[in-house]
Every structure is written in structure tokens, then in C-alpha cells.
Amino acid sequence: MQFRTILTLIGLLGVLSGLPALAQSVTPVLSASDAVILEMNDAFKNGQAKRLTELLPRTRGHVLAPWAAYWELRARLESATPAEISSFLTLYAGTYQEDRLRNDWLLLLGQNRDWSRFVLEAPNFRMKDDREVRCYVLAMEQILVGVDMANEVKGQWYAQKDAGDGCALAAQAHFDKQLLTPADIWRKARLSLEARQIKATRQALDIVAPQASAALTDLLAKPEFFLGKLNPGSLRYHQELAVLALIRLADSSPDAAARLLQSRWDKQLDARQRAWAWGAIGTQAAQKLSPDALGFFNHASPADMSDEHLAWRARAALRLGQWTDALAALEAMSPQASSEVTWVYWRGRALKQLAKTEPERAQAAGLLQSIAGVGGFYNMLALEELGQPITPPALPEPLSTAEKEAARANAGLQRALAAIALGLRSEGVREWNYSTNLHTAGGMSDRELLAAADLACQHEVWDRCINTSERTKSVIDLAQRFPMPHKQAVLARSRVIGLDPAYVYGLIRQESRFIVDARSGVGASGLMQVMPATARWTAKKIGLTSFKSHQITERDTNIAIGTGYLKLVLDDFSGSMPMAAAAYNAGPGRPRTWRGQTGAPVMEAAIWAENVPFAETRDYVKKVLANTTIYAAMISGQTQSLKARLGQVGPSDGTLVVNRDLP
């Protein structure tokens, strides 16, 4: 039996009784039935189906019994009888575990092409959040009934990040009936290759040009050599393979791809193929922050580029201060992409910059006003661009006793809290999310979400408190969205070393959502998600000579090391909060490169952040700075400016206190 340390935020007895755990001074104790649940979870992860069946009877009456039953049946789903599956779905009707098993079963039925059972069960799937299941539905409707769902097939298939059987089957079925064109399939191959999803690229080639699929290995290994072997004026699929090879070459050398495209292929490709090739080359150049990126993009019309190309075309233009080019890229985006708050903001800014008439200025203001608020980075920047202060919204009406009791009586929320209390965080989070979404028309109301968030806050399950509260639409409770646990420790340590406590809170909220024992997939630990090597280096720098690696999850040690490292990188970048945040997330070497060499333009830090090549770091910087602005308002009680915190970014002026040994 594998036992684990119970990392408990609440007393389990408090969860089971429905009473606020914080009101009880109960030391969590691992009961015999708790131990069985934990052993079953370990057995499930290790594929021990027989052991799960042996242990299941010992979980009767436990609050997490539905999880135990799910693990046991899921482990042997391929051999389970339809009667066993039906019995489980009936016994646990309405629970997350019921719909989770239905999801698993539908995937198995789709893989086995068992459409007779699939068609009966698919309408009962409530979550509707599995793209593969939806693609199996689309495939089934075409195969059995002949329904044309080509547009949705493209949407689902193009958005899929990895190769999947269901979406490929739906695409094949519609392609066979000429409802999808070869151009549709080649588009998927391009999207997949640009995303470095090789299996999905091959899957698309197997549909549209099986004879070309075998060439993919050579294309990937030596794209420049492969391009030299193709005949530009021969078969159509040679032209499409040339685009793929140019995409692959641009990944490592945009300049080489551009030279080959201009010298050999530009006149051999049609307008759409040429635009895509230039879009891929420009995107790679933009991600490398090349000053030539915008020139590459401008070789072709933005109308035939993908949304990803257009996003990087807009970023490259903003980086160079070319507002007309930025606006052209933004206006060519699909309606779905252009409605994203990022691009609404920059379109409003571009229109404002270029406006010459009052109607044009009104149009720009209207776009900015449509997103202005305290909901995020660009929402706050829109407020400031309109000359409006960043002020907290009115507090919602206090929750009533009845509203709080309704949340506490929710069986799914109680199971989620019990799972988290027992150390089964992944299971608890999934059940919590399911229970707050409800998967019925409309889901939880704003008031119900506030009550659920309040329940999580009361039990110090801060990540569910924050994430649930963030989903309200008409009311905002900033105290829920931006809690300040460990306040005395954070404020005291921040002030001792001269660090803005709002910045520390903004970073912790993004790093760990205040989960003390949080651990990332790469080994970062604790509230401030510190890597082991960074912890050892920082401990020496700040004088923690007795530091041992196991201490990194201790709250005060983690805060001391995390804030110490943050102060070092902040000083390294002359107090630039966005650059220090980028360094904290991606290491200090990369932001030094991203700021540009001597002669590079000085730009708004918002433009600099939007041009960060790593999507994770780009998102991280924006969220940390937005968090910081809200926390500063809450701590100081005064109006804050996000723009002032952002400042400007440009090449080093040589006055930096550079710690070259920063890890």
C-alpha cells in the first residue's frame, strides 16, 4: 500500500459535517476508510484493476465512494459489460463521476465504431467538453445519415492541438463525400506543422495525398534539400509540399526560407499558398524579434493568412510603431479572433492613433469602452486610455444565509472539498469545476457562483475561491478574486527587503493561487514556485546558510527565498516590473534578449509584453502586472495606474546592476 502525506487545508470532519472547518480545531486524522480511498487512487494510477475490485467494497458510505467506484470500473472499462456500465450510470446519476465515465465510454465506442450504442448514449453527455467525442458525433452523423457538418468539422479539427482519431475520422468522412476540399485538408497540415504537431500533420497528408505522406520524413529532416528536389511546375501537391517545407525551414531560419521563396517558389505558388508561406516566415521572424519580420509579412495580403500569422503581424507592426500595418492585420482577423480582448484593445489604440475625424475617434473610443473594466490587463489599460481611473466596482450585496447554505448542501462541492482535504487535488478540482458549471442551461447564476466561491474561501481552498469568483458576469467581488492569505508574512518580508507587497501578491496569485504545497510539473515548489537550483542559489545570496532543500515548501522559507530572488531580478532590470516578471517565469537571460540590442526601439511595456515570444511568459507578465495593480489598490486604498507600473522597455543603457550568475 502506498500512503501519502495528507496535505490538508481543512479538517475532513468539517467537510463531512458541512460545518466551516475553520471554526473547528480538529487535527486531521487518516481513518481506515480514508486510507482505502488513497490506496485505490494509487492502484488506479498504476493500472491495478484486480486490486481496485478487491478494495471497492470497503469504501461504502465514504463521501468519496463515487470516485472509488469510478476508478474500479474505469480500470476495466474495455472488458466491462453494458449492464455494468448502465448500472453505474444509474447509481451515480447526476454526479461528475457518471458523466466522466460516460465520456470515457463514448470515446471507446467511437474508437470501436460501435455506432449503435454511441448514438443512444451521446445525447446524455452533459459536459460536452471533449472535442474527440464531438468529432465522433460529427463523423457518425455523416456516416450513418449523410448530414453535412463540414464547417463544424473544420472548426473542431483545426482547433485540435494533437492528432485524434475522432476528428480525423470526421474529416475523412466529409472529404470522401467532397464536403471538405483538398485545400481544407492542406490547411490542417499547415496548422499542425506550424504547431510542431507532426503526427497530426501526417494524419492530414494520409487523407489528402497518401502518396506524399511518405515524403514527410525527408521534408522534416532537410527542408532546404527537399525543396530542391521538387518540381515547381509539376503536380499540385508538390506546391503544397513546398509550402510545408518552407514552414519547416522558417522554423529554424526565416531568412533562408524567405530567400528560397523569393528566388524559386514565389511565382509557382498561388496567392493563398504564397500568403501562407510568407505568413509562416514572418511569424517565425517576429518570434525571433527580427526587424525584418514586418517586411516578410508585407510580401502578401493579410486576407489569406491565418489568425496566428495576423497576430504576429500585428505584434511586429506595434513593435516598430507602424500603426497602419497593425490595423490592417487586425482588420483581417476572423470574427472569433478579432473579438478577443487583446485585439479589441489594440484595434482601438490603432484607430485612435490614426483617427483624423470625430467619427473615427468615436469609433476608437467605442471599442475601448466595450472592454474597459477591472477584469484583466487590457481591460484596465482600456480604462486608462479613456482617461478613467482604475477603481474597484461596488461590492455585491452580502450573501444570505440561504445562499450560503445552498452552496454547503451541494454534494458535488462537498465531495470536491473532501478530495482536496485528502490530498486528491486533481480529482477535487475537476469535481468542483463540474459542480459549479452544472452543465445545464445557463449553469450557476452569479449569486450561486459567489456563494460557491465563499465556501472555498472559508475552507482556504484559494484556487477554487479565485477561479469560481472570476466567472461572475454582472457582479464582481474583488475580495474573493484577490484574497490575501499569509498577509502578515508577505507584508513583513516584502517591506524588510524593499519590495512592493502588491507585486509579491500579484506574483503569488499567478504562480500558485496560494496553494502552500503547490508543485509544478518541472519541480517548482511552494507559494512562489521556486525551482530547487534557484532556491539554493538565492538562499546563499540572502544569507540563509542553513537552508535545506526540503524546507522550500515551508511557508516562511518559501516566501523569503521567492521574494529574495524577485528583488534580485527586479534590481537587475532597474526596477522594471514587467521585465522582472518575465525573468521570474522564463529566466533572466531571455528578457535581456527580448529587450533588444543597441539601436532597437524603446516602446511601451505593453507592446513589449505582447511581443514576448513564449505564450506562457507573455500571459504571465500581463496577469502578474494586472494582479499587482489590483492588490496595490486594495492595500493602499488609493487609485492605481497600470500604465505607470508598466513604463517603457528598450535596450540596456549600461547602468543595469546585472547579476550575470542569476539562475
Crossing angle of helices 377-385 and 358-371, in 10° steps, is: 140
C-alpha atoms less than 13 angstroms from C-alpha of 533 in its C-beta half-sphere: 5
Residue of 211, 266, 210, 214 lying closest to 243 (CA atoms): 266
Cα separation, 247 vs 254, in Å, equals 9
**Closest C-alpha among 137, 240, 146, 144 to residue 184:** 240
Q: Mind telling me the catalytic residues?
A: 511
Helix/strand/coil for 519: strand
**Cβ pair 525, 558 in contact under 8 A:** yes
Helices (H), 122-164: 131-140, 150-159
CA gap 343, 327 in Å, rounded:
10
Chain CA centroid to CA 79, Å: 35
Q: Any idea how long the chain is?
A: 663
Can you tell me whether residue 288 is helix, strand or coil? coil
d(CA 608, CA 578): 9
Q: Do the beta carbons of residue 563 and residue 499 sit within 8 Å? A: yes
Q: For residue 374, what are the contacts with CB-CB under 8 A and spacing of at least 6?
A: 380, 383, 390, 391, 392, 393, 476, 478, 630
Cβ contact 62:68 at 8 Å: yes
**DSSP string for residues in 409-451:** T-HHHHHHHHHHHTT-HHHHHHHHHHHHHTTSTT-S-HHHHHH
Cα dihedral 455→460→463→468 (10° resolution): 10
